[in-house]
Structure 1
């Protein structure tokens, strides 16, 4: 995808890819900052943009086995997190259809704070 085709959201506060600065998610879509990714802290979001979803796989995570797919930035191809398709445990069903974005792979835009 050409950089000119990426959604930019006209400066609204959001997360961008740390490698190429493509917008990945808006601040308004943030659900929780209290998640763990592969490389450290992660953020659960309602949606993501400018991403490509990889192949589904069952993965043993801290909260049990989930069917997930890695999520890649369409600007540069870097992995930025994963998408939750299915949770095996009833208490984890709220994650289905959501994105886990890894803090170490993102930059914040518009000076809003991630450290609360």
Structure 2
């Protein structure tokens, strides 16, 4: 078995730009716009769009879409504010769909 060199990374599926480290993944059990999504604590090489209120399955949130810095692929969104007390843990975290990165 070969030795793993460097950290495990998630990358944009369009251009392979590094998006987050495996250790930053909080949960793989989220539901995004197009299916399964991941919640993660930090993001790399992204651009954060404008904030907007969005009604999600878990209630009203203020979110900002996140894009790959290199190819501008929409990866998911950043939670800016959660209005439901039970959802506050998501604030300043990121959610991205599995189709957006690998």
Q: Same fold (TM over 0.5)?
A: yes
Partner residue of 1:57?
52
C-alpha distance in structure 2 between counterparts of 1:38 and 1:22, whole Å: 21
SS at match of 1:65: strand
TM-score (norm 1): 0.82
Structure with greater helix share of residues: 1
Deviations 1:47-81 (A, max 9, x none): 10000000000000000000000000001000001
Partner residue of 2:64?
69
SS at match of 2:70: coil
Give the ranges of 4+ consecutive aligned residues of structure 1 lying more than 2 Å apart after TM superposition: none
Matching of residue 26 in structure 1 with residue 21 in structure 2: yes
Decide which of 10, 32, 42 is 1:15's aligned counterpart. 10
Q: Which runs of 5+ in 1 are unaligned?
A: 1-9, 108-116
CA-atom RMSD in angstroms: 1.0
C-alpha distance in structure 2 between counterparts of 1:96 and 1:14, whole Å: 23
TM-score (norm 2): 0.93
Q: Which runs of 5+ in 2 are unaligned?
A: none
Matching of residue 105 in structure 1 with residue 84 in structure 2: no
C-alpha distance in structure 1 between counterparts of 2:12 and 2:45, whole Å: 10
Aligned length: 98
